[in-house]
Amino acid sequence: MNATYDAVVVGAGFAGITAARDLADRGRSVVLLEAGTRIGGRTYTRPFTGREDLTVDLGGSWVNRELQPEIWREIARYGIPLTEDAMPTSAAFITDGVLRSFPVPAGEIADLERVVGHLRDASKRIAPSQRLSRQPIRDLDVSVDEFIAPLQLGPATRDLVYAALAWYAGADPRNVSMLGFIAQTAGFGHSPYGFFGALTERIIGGAGTLLDRMVEQSRLEIRLDHYVAQIEQSQDGVTVRTRHGQCVRAHSCVVAVPTNVLRHIDFRPGLAGDKQRFLTENHMGRATKPSMLVRHVPARPFALGLGKLQALCLGHEYPDGSCLLMGFGGERTKLDLTDREQIEAAVREYYPEAEVLAVDAHDWNADPLFDGTYRIDRPGQAYDFLRAMNEPEGRIVFAGTDLDDSVWRIWIEGAVHSGRHAADGVSAILAR
C-alpha cells in the first residue's frame, strides 16, 4: 500500500487542529481523524439547552492575550475579538466552615501573606518561556500538604489553598502534585493572584469561533466519527485503523487525544515502557463545570471555598437582573449536573437567597472520549510524565494540553503550544 499523506493527526481539539494547520501551512498533506461528531474536544461551544439565544462554553473558555503568546498569535492571525470580564464587586468565601466576605479571619492575614510569598518564591525557580521538563524542578513535584507544611497555616488559610487548588484540579487537593500549580503561578507572571485575576478574557461567540476559523482558512480535511483503534508503524510509514475498519496511511502521525484515553489505542509496536507506566492509570483531573441561569445573587458575584462547588464565576449579567454563572466542582463533592435543585443548594451555600432557574453542562468524566477533564498528576508523577510523553516514538509524536511541556499545560494555550511543537516534531521526521 502506498503512503498517502505526509501526516495523519488523531484528535481534533486545539492541539490536533494546530498541528494539522501548521503542517498544512508548510505545504504538507495532512488528514485529521476525530472520534466524535464535532471538532473542539474539551472546548465545546453551543447554545444553553432550552435557551437558543444564549451561547455557552461547556469546556475551555478563559484566555489572556498578554500572558499567553500562542493565543495572542492565533487571535491576531484570524482577527478574533475578545471580551474582558467585569471585575467582581461582591465575593463570598467558605473557609474553616464559615461563610465570609474576606477569605480568612483577621487573625490569619499574616498566614495568607506567608502562603502567597511561599508560592511566589517557588514559582520564581521556573522560567515561563522554557520547557518544564528541562528545568531542575523535580523537587517541586510534591503534595500540597508537603509544600505548605513548613508554613503552619491557620485552618481558614489552609482551606483557601485547598479550595483554590480543588477549583483548578477538580480533585481532592491533598492527592495532587503542587508542580503544576507552581508552574501555573510562573505563567501568571509569578503572581499567585493570577489564580483569581489572570484569565479574564473570552472569545466573543465562544472558543469554537477560533477553531472554526483555523479549520476553514486552511481547508483542513477532517473526518468525524473516525475513532482510531490501532496505530501501527513500520520503517516506511504509519497505518492508522479505526474502530469501523477505515484505514489511513501516512509518513508520520500526531496523536493528540486526552491522555486518559490513550491506552485504548493499540500501538504496534507497543509504546516505550515509561509511557505505558503513566498511561495505565487515570490522572486525577475530574472537574465539573455546570453553567446556570441564576437570580437573586449580588451584582458581579465571585465565590470560592470548600462548599459543594469550589467556585462560582460570572458569565454574563442580563437586564432583568438574572445572570449566567459558571460553577466549578469535582470529585470532592459529586453533584448531579442535570439536577437543578442540587445545583441550587450548592449555590445557596454561598448566596442563600439564590434561585437557580436552569442548568446545563457536559459531563467530561462520563464521556468515554475524555474520561476526565485535564491532566492533574499525583505527587511525584508530574515531572517524569512530561519527560516521557514528549519523546517521539519513531514516526509518532504525541500532542495535547495534558502533556504540554510549558507553564500553560492544561489550558487552551498549552494545547496550541503542544500542537505547534508536534508540527515541528513531524517536520523533523519528514525531513529525515
Residues at the contact surface with ligand FAD, assessed by CB under 6 A: 10-16, 33-36, 41-43, 59-63, 227-228, 256-258, 261, 265, 287, 289, 364, 369-370, 373-374, 400-401, 410-415
From the list 213, 290, 287, the residue with the least C-alpha distance to 57 is 290
From the list 65, 18, 141, the residue with the least C-alpha distance to 419 is 18
Beta strand ranges found along 85-182 (DSSP E): 90-95, 98-100
CB of 403 to ligand FAD, least distance (A): 8
Nearer residue to ligand FAD within complex by CB, 143 or 200? 200
Number of Cβ within 10 Å of residue 393's Cβ equals 17
Nearer residue to ligand FAD within complex by CB, 179 or 399? 399
Q: Which residue has the cell 437582573?
A: 321
CB of 202 to ligand FAD, least distance (A): 8
Nearer residue to ligand FAD within complex by CB, 124 or 243? 243
CB of 285 to ligand FAD, least distance (A): 8
Cα angle for residues 326, 69, 123 (degrees, 5° grid): 75
Nearer residue to ligand FAD within complex by CB, 60 or 128? 60
Nearer residue to ligand FAD within complex by CB, 108 or 413? 413
Q: Rounded to whole angstroms, how far apart are CA atoms 218 and 39?
A: 15
CB of 406 to ligand FAD, least distance (A): 12
Contacts of 428 (CB under 8 A, 6+ apart): none
Q: Is the peptide bond before 379 cis (omega within 30 degrees of 0)?
A: no
CB of 283 to ligand FAD, least distance (A): 13
SS3 231: strand
CB of 255 to ligand FAD, least distance (A): 9
CB 328 within 8 A of CB 309: yes
CB of 41 to ligand FAD, least distance (A): 2
Nearer residue to ligand FAD within complex by CB, 95 or 401? 401
Q: Rounded to whole angstroms, how far apart are CA atoms 168 and 374?
A: 10
From the list 200, 201, 197, the residue with the least C-alpha distance to 81 is 201
Q: Rounded to whole angstroms, how far apart are CA atoms 315 and 141?
A: 33
Nearer residue to ligand FAD within complex by CB, 68 or 157? 68
Q: Rounded to whole angstroms, how far apart are CA atoms 141 and 318?
A: 43
Nearer residue to ligand FAD within complex by CB, 33 or 122? 33
Nearer residue to ligand FAD within complex by CB, 34 or 96? 34
CB of 143 to ligand FAD, least distance (A): 23
Contacts of 19 (CB under 8 A, 6+ apart): 7, 9, 254, 256, 399, 419, 420, 422, 423, 426
Sign of the CA dihedral with 81 first, then 87, 88, and 93 last: positive
C-alpha cell at 56: 455557552
Nearer residue to ligand FAD within complex by CB, 93 or 227? 227
CB of 222 to ligand FAD, least distance (A): 10
Regarding beta strands 266-268 and 355-360, do their DSSP bridges make them parallel or antiparallel, or are they unpaired? Answer: unpaired
CB of 322 to ligand FAD, least distance (A): 22
From the list 6, 67, 66, 1, the residue with the least C-alpha distance to 432 is 6
Task: Give the CA distances from residue 53 to residues 49, 56, 319, in Å, rounded to whole numbers and listed in that order.
Answer: 10, 10, 14
CB of 21 to ligand FAD, least distance (A): 12
Nearer residue to ligand FAD within complex by CB, 143 or 218? 218
